[in-house]
Amino acid sequence: MLTKEQIETAADRLYQAETSRKQIPALTLDYPDMTIEDAYSIQKAWVDRKVAEGRKVIGYKIGLTSRAMQMSSNIDEPDYGVLLDDMLFEDCTTIKASDFLDPRIEVELAFVLKKPLFGSTVTIFDVINATDYVIPSLELIAARCLRTDPDTGYTRKVYDTISDNAANAGIVLGGRPIRPMDIDLRWAGCMLYLNGQIEETGLAGGVLGNPLKGITWVCKRFAPHDVGLEPGQVILSGSFTRPVPVKAGDTVHADFGSLGGVSLNFE
């Protein structure tokens, strides 16, 4: 286990990487024995610093929900990160690509809650009853730690990603909000366009077999720490496409069919 000082130092390095727009080497190079709990402690220390500066928690994102991604990361469970108010962007807005380190886009379904969810026994039916609506979304991810070191070829580990707030950078909500029982969410599909060309397609069933299960997972993960999900919070249930790199001049559009679309422009 890392010491409190090591955790604070690691969190500060990530903070400085984001504010200076300069990536740092993977934390696991300095802390090769880091555990998942260490990584979440670093994430919390970094998020706590942002909250102390005036940012507000608006929800959570769940990552590594597909079996393929878990196997590639040598982990057998998803991960989570914290969504803050300055990460929320309007549909069809334009943002600066240079504000983000190695930015990429993923496609997700977002759950907006109307009731609290807490406990290790939360079921998909509890999630349905607690959800106000589900809405298409884009997640903008970034890497404050180098994904692959250009000099050594060292590839970051899952502990680096978790420490890096699960790569959170931004979210965009758009399209048509629906009640979770309006459709079979497993079959909600999307075509992701990059500059007018289809780059990725996917089905929401790629998220643990059902995106509802992503919400139950994070509730169970939080329960031992007496943390729950709150009304009004936005929960990103997990991506069902691979991350697509973006740069200045790019436009991304996610077409969710009958659920509408959501777009983001980069300058």
CATH assignment at residue 208: 3.90.850.10
pLDDT of 197 reads 98
In the predicted model, is pLDDT for residue 73 greater than 80? Answer: no
Contact between residue 80 and residue 63 where contact means Cβ atoms under 8 Å apart: yes
In the predicted model, is pLDDT for residue 202 greater than 60? Answer: yes
For every residue of 95-125, DSSP letters joined together read: E-GGGSSS-EEEEEEEEEESS-B-STT--HH
Q: Work out how many domains the chain is built from and give that number.
A: 1
pLDDT of 226 reads 86
Mean pLDDT of 247-266: 98
pLDDT band at 70 (very low <50, low <70, confident <90, very high): low
pLDDT of 196 reads 97
pTM of the model: 0.94
Domain containing 124: what range? 4-266
- Nearest partner of 111 among 136, 145, 83, 140, judged by Cα: 136
The Cα 218–Cα 32 span in angstroms is: 26
pLDDT of 68 reads 55
- Our CA angle for 35, 212, 45, nearest 5°, is 30
pLDDT of 19 reads 96
The Cα 43–Cα 47 span in angstroms is: 6
